[in-house]
Amino acid sequence: MDERVSSGARSRRPAPLPARVVLAVAAAVVALLLAACEAPGRTVTDDRGPVPAAPGPSPYGVVFLGPGDCSSRGPVIREVFCRSEKAAATVLARHLGTPSSGPPCPDATDFVLHVSETGTGARSRLTTGYACMRNLEPPHPGDPGQGGGPLTVVGDCVTASRAGEVTETACADAGGRAPRYRVESAVRRRAQCPDDTDLFVSLRGEKPVGCARRSTGW
């Protein structure tokens, strides 16, 4: 007999899947659920607590002598990898402008580099400014009492002239006849210095007044 299906006839139901096919589909679903539970983005509880990420240097070459970068030593200063045998100092801070008008360098600064990056090859907007540098190895003239560095900090020793200027000198230096003073503390105003202060020294930063006492041990 000739069978015909009109547009209004009911569609036939699909044949049921064999048992083996049903089992295979179920296994695939379980595998997908397990994979989702073991995704790399899961959160793991660690009794030791989270380990903070160490601040690293700026990407090499993006900012010329940016914080954390390293420089070579010599007549021509170049940015080098900090693990390079040519690396001599690291950048503690990098600012625009000049050291006299810009933010002060950190107390641990050994020397200051005046940076001027010009031309079409300039890699950053920090084209003119200064970098506060610290030697990777001793000596560290910027440390208190060492007699060097671009800043006068608490613990440094100075000699005073009649013109009202002071010159930093090493505290351990036994030479010289000029009176020597040691900066004992730093305050915001002169009135906050101790009564036995012998000399006021101009510093930089939030506490611009150094309270110095005359040293008698030399």
Q: Residue 7 corresponds to which tokens in the numbers above?
A: 């547009």
Q: Which residues is 210 bridged to in the sheet?
A: 186, 201
Give 64 or 35, the one with higher predicted confidence: 64
List, for residues 185-199, the tens digit of each pLDDT value: 999 999 999 999 999
pLDDT value of position 128: 76
Alpha carbon distance 167, 183 (integer Å): 12
The enclosing H or E element of 34 equals: helix 19-37
pLDDT value of position 53: 42
Query: Given a cut of 70, is residue 148 above it in pLDDT?
Result: yes
List, for residues 78-90, the tens digit of each pLDDT value: 999 999 999 999 9
Query: Given a cut of 50, is residue 123 above it in pLDDT?
Result: yes
Per the CB < 8 A criterion, the answer to whether 109 and 92 are in contact is yes
Alpha carbon distance 94, 207 (integer Å): 21
pLDDT value of position 24: 45
pLDDT value of position 182: 95
Place of tokens 């397990």: 34
